[in-house]
Structure 1
Amino acid sequence: MGRDSWAERTPGEQFCQLPPFDTAIMGKGTSFRRLDAFAKVAEDARIRTTSGGLVTLICFALISILITSEFLDWRRITETTELVVDKTRGERMTIHLNLTFAHIPCSMLSLDVMDVSGETQIDLKHEMKKRRETRDGKVVAIETASLNSEAAPLQADDYCGPCYGATPPESGCCNTCEDVRDAYARSGWAIGDLNAFEQCEKEHYKDKLGQQVNEGCTIAGSIHVNKVQGNFHFAPGKSFSGQGGQHVHDLNEFGKSAREKQWDFSHTINEMRFGDRADGYSGPLEGTSKSTTDSFYNYVYFIKTVATRWEFLSGKEAIETNQYSVTGHERSLAGGLDPNEPHHVHSRGGIPGVFFSYDISPIKVINRQVRNKTFGGFLVGSCAAVGGLLAMATMLDRGVWETQKRLKDKKTL
């Protein structure tokens, strides 16, 4: 009895009766073959030619060049710039200075800072060094701002020097010549003849001052200011706050000696930066040099600072600093100063010196290093270069081969 039913057949008989794979899975076996974009060429049907080998070498050389170019383009770092509002509050800004005054001694210079918030820093000494130099640039000595800073008091321990009617310090005693000068400054008085004070006479203060008459001075260091509009300046004589909070300089000594000793404010700005130094950035004032023969001459630099941040791909810590732009103004004060007025206020026509008036921009610049393209862009560019060159090489090789074949057949005929 025959077993026509599929279920009645043994497993072996069932397997033998399965339809062919191509017919069962792909119909007639031609549907998916028509979609094959990677046609196979039988090994025996391949033809290798000399021209094809030459095209292949050229193709691989060009592929190597293009992939190398893509790699270098991927590795190239560019810098993007972004502008944002500077939202920092309560921060202080560090200003790094290095200026050379060729024709005025260190003992005659003072550095003061004032800003619109009302903060005033008078005769700054902290973090500042003065280098005494001859007029041809040879170093004489490096010292702090005070003329007698290295000298111990010459009086006994229980000595309490008089202040000669001027406002005394908190201790109530003026034990050094510098104390007397400060007391007179607080009272708004001209110092007059230094030898009239016993402290100055014992310290030979005037003699020390006379030794520096023909010297120049380099001042270097850092000052810390509020991030608000303000100014700092190098001016002659002792500075102090006068009546009504006015900033006053004692020009008595400078006025008597400036013309005969040929003091003036010729200067060179060796360094001027607001914040940390960034590689490749140099402030527009650095290297600036000004010269004059007028003792009563005023230089003013108007500076606009912009907070700047540099971010690096190398993992190096970001640099927070400031860029700045500057415009300058200079004028002679000769004839504008009253020789009978020992103290001169800034608002009354100005005083001789070098002034830096700075303003803070509310905008912050962020300079960020980025790759010229992403790694994905590098892969896409490389694949496009390889694919395009291979396609062009294939067409070129085919054209050369067809040309050679036709020429050969024509020659045979």
Structure 2
Amino acid sequence: MSTTQRPKLISIDAFAKTVEDARIRTTSGGIITLICVAIVLFLIRSEYLEYTTIITRPELVVDKDINKQLDIHLDISFPNLPCDMISLDLLDETGDVQLDILQSGFQKFRLIHDSNGQVTNEILDTDSQTLNNDISLYELAKGLKDGEQGECGSCYGALPQDKHQFCCNSCAAVRLAYAEKRWGFYDGSNIAQCESEGYVKRINARISTGEGCRVKGTSQINRISGTLDFAAGASFTSGGQHVHDLSLYDKHPDKFNFDHTINNLAFGSVVPEVKSTHSLDGHKTELGKKAHLFSYYLKVVATRYEYLFTKKATIDTNQFSVITHDRPLKGGKDEDHEHTFHARGGVPGVFFHFDISPLKIINREEYAKTWSGFVLGVISSIAGVLMVGTLVDRSVYAAEKVIRTKKDL
């Protein structure tokens, strides 16, 4: 290298060297050095702990699985309403109505109060289930063909029978026929089919003993916003309207209400360690009001949990936020808020209005810092502490020098 190039390189040297003989070591400098070393070790340890810490980082993406069906896990108790009087229906935004989906994945359990006040669960016998709307009225009340011999039970004026077009040979057929006419069925008293099948005796016995009901199970629904409703009496559609037969519910003014306890409500796979996937668990309502409507507005968001280690499988589930609301069917001024007026009308029951979000949250496990971030953090910690230590040492040395000078005077 030529001599003309060396001065240029020397002029840009950022690491100027000090002469060894010009260095002065002091006691205060040694103390500051020990303090700096301790601080550096502490900062390095903190950087390492942060580097090895596993965090969950959320990411919001468009849900591409919107066409897949959604699992719903439901466990709800009604302590003041017999199972025979509860129907569970699903109405979605497409206009489709699924009546009595209790028969597609859910079971009813009778809540029986014994003499000691304890409540026992007993599965409801299959002949006590609500109307099966998968069977049409015309199949259930099929009439006799011309010349065909057989029994043709009375439909009590609900269907034409002058030529045996329809025959109500079962209690369920009469109930469907009454539903088609929008007639109140009550408890089926004085209807021969219901009396002979023991329906009247059974349902009145359960009403008199004050039985409750627990609905529990898992089913699949489409990923479309809609309403899941528990209401009193048999449900049916007539004239494009979704209605319920409330005759028996209204017959006893001093009995029945929709007080309830939500034991579990979850969409998709249940993740026990994540409370947000089932935020209504344990929710209890006890108002004791007969003509009352309870509404839950759910915002359901698809959620995926991706774990750092392959030992844990990826979990696809859903979490939801909820807004609760209840109102009396008679409407009028709210008891707690004098400036709030409720609408009048409706059906007593518990309604879950769910809205399916088109977005998905991906909770991905990862280390809090990358390897390069860890190295950079360590170097920055060392350099920063040494720089501050140098400034403090110079300040202390200058102060000591001033003090010694004054003493010498």
Give the TM-score taking structure 1 as reference length. Answer: 0.69
User: 1:146: Cα distance to partner?
Assistant: 3.9
Question: Identity rate of aligned residues, in percent?
Answer: 38
Q: Alpha-carbon deviation of 1:114?
A: 1.5
User: Which region of structure 1 is more displaced relative to structure 2, 76-85 or 313-322?
Assistant: 76-85
Is the radius of gyration larger for structure 1 or structure 2? 1
* Aligned residue runs from structure 1 range 124-143, under 5 A: 124-134=102-112, 138-143=118-123
Shift, 1:30, TM fit? 7.3
Give the distance between the partners of 2:73 and 2:399, measured in 1 at CA. Answer: 76
Q: Provide the C-alpha distance between the structure 1 equivalents of 2:66 and 2:400, rounded to a whole number of angstroms.
A: 80
The structure 1 residue matched to 2:188, chosen from 194, 209, 218, is 194
Q: How much has 1:109 moved relative to structure 2? A: 0.9
3-state SS in 2 of match to 1:269 = strand
Counterpart selection for 2:376 from 380, 385, 392: 380
2:92 maps to: 115
Structure 1 residue 328: Cα displacement? 1.9
Deviations 1:110-129 (A, max 9, x none): 11112232322222223213
CA distance in 1, matches of 2:244, 2:75: 22
Choose from 51, 58, 62 the match for 2:35. 58
Q: How far off its partner does 1:394 sit?
A: 4.4
Matching residue within 186, 197, 204 for 2:198: 204
SS at match of 1:212: helix
Name the structure 2 match of 1:337. Answer: none
- SS of alignment partner, residue 353 of structure 2: strand
CA RMSD of aligned residues (A): 4.2
Change (3 A) 1:94 1:174: farther
The Cα of 1:396 is off from its aligned counterpart by 4.5
Q: 2:320 aligns with which of 313, 320, 323?
A: 323
* Residue 250 (structure 1) shift: 2.2
CA distance in 2, matches of 1:55, 1:393: 7
**Matched residue type, 2:294:** Y
SS, match of residue 295 in structure 2: strand
Amino acid at match of 2:94: S
User: Shift in Å at residue 63 of structure 1?
Assistant: 0.6
2:327 partner amino acid: E
Matched residue pairs, number? 358
How far off its partner does 1:238 sit?
Answer: 1.6
- The amino acid that maps onto 2:84 is S
Deviation at 1:147, TM superposition (A): 4.8
Q: CA–CA distance in 1 between the matches of 2:237 and 2:153?
A: 18
Structure 1 counterpart of 2:143: none
Shift in alpha-carbon separation, 1:161–1:178, aligned structure 2, 3 A: farther
CA distance, structure 2, for counterparts of residue 250 and residue 410 of structure 1: 104
Deviates more, 1:399-408 or 1:262-271: 399-408
* Residue type of the alignment partner of 2:96: E
**Closer, same or farther: CA 302–207 of 1 in aligned 2, 3 Å:** same
How far off its partner does 1:234 sit? 0.9
- 5+ long unaligned stretches in structure 1: 1-24, 150-159, 335-347
Task: Give the deviation of 1:80 after TM superposition.
Answer: 5.0
Change (3 A) 1:141 1:199: farther
Alignment of 1:24-103 (within 5 A): 35=13, 37=15, 39=17, 50-76=27-53, 80-103=57-80
Q: Relative to structure 1, is the Cα distance of residues 191 and 376 closer, same or farther in structure 2, using a 3 angstrom cutoff? A: same
- Three-state SS of the structure 2 residue aligned to 1:259 is coil
**Conserved? CA contact 1:230–1:358, under 8 Å:** yes
The residue that corresponds to 2:296 in the other structure is 301
In 2: Cα distance, 1:161 partner to 1:91 partner: 47
**8 Å contact from structure 1 (residues 131, 139) kept in 2:** no
- Alpha-carbon contact 1:84-1:364 (below 8 Å) kept: yes
- Per-residue deviation at 1:241? 2.6
1:322: Cα distance to partner? 3.9
Verify: 1:241 aligned to 2:234, yes or no: no
TM superposition shift of 1:79: 5.2
One-letter amino acid of the structure 2 residue matched with residue 353 of structure 1: G
Alpha-carbon distance in 2 for matches of 1:402, 1:333 = 86
Contact 1:67 1:382 in 2 (8 A): yes
SS at match of 1:164: coil
Aligned partner of 1:272 in structure 2 is: 265
CA distance in 2 between counterparts of 1:403 and 1:325 reads: 66
Q: Secondary structure at the match of 1:389?
A: helix
Mapping 1:333-348, distance limit 5 Å: 333=330
The separation in 2 between residues aligned to 1:402 and 1:131, in whole angstroms, is: 86
Deviations 1:290-336 (A, max 9, x none): 334442322333434344444444554143414234252412249xx
Q: State the SS of the aligned residue for 1:111.
A: strand
Q: Secondary structure at the match of 1:326?
A: strand
- Whether contact under 8 Å (1:306, 1:323) holds in the other structure is yes
Q: Identify if the C-alpha distance between structure 1 residues 113 and 383 changes in structure 2 by more than 3 Å, giving closer, same or farther.
A: same
Residues 101 and 379 (structure 1), Cα distance of their counterparts in 2 relative to 1, 3 Å cut: same
Instruction: Classify the secondary structure of the residue corresponding to 2:84.
Output: helix
Distance apart, 1:386 and its partner CA: 0.9
Contact 2:307 2:365 in 1 (8 A): yes
Deviation at 1:382, TM superposition (A): 0.9
Q: 1:231 offset after TM fit, Å?
A: 1.2
> Quick check: 57-66 or 126-135, which moved more?
126-135
CA distance in 1, matches of 2:51, 2:285: 47
CA distance in 1, matches of 2:124, 2:4: 101
Given the superposition, is the C-alpha separation of residues 377 and 173 from structure 1 closer, same or farther in structure 2, using an over 3 Å criterion? farther
Does the 8 A contact of 1:103 with 1:135 survive in 2?
no
Decide whether the 8 Å contact of 1:128 with 1:144 is kept in 2: no
Output the amino acid matched with 2:262: I
Deviates more, 1:69-78 or 1:116-125: 69-78
Comparing 50-59 with 218-227, greater Cα deviation is found at 50-59
Check the 8 A contact 2:279/2:320 in 1, yes or no.
Answer: no
Alignment of 1:145-184 (within 5 A): 146-148=126-128, 164-165=154-155, 177-178=171-172, 181-182=175-176, 184=178
Q: 1:11 maps to what in 2?
A: none
C-alpha distance in structure 2 between counterparts of 1:378 and 1:231, whole Å:
51
Is 2:206 the counterpart of 1:228?
Answer: no
Cα distance in 1, alignment partners of residues 279 and 22 from structure 2: 74
Cα distance in 1, alignment partners of residues 6 and 64 from structure 2: 70
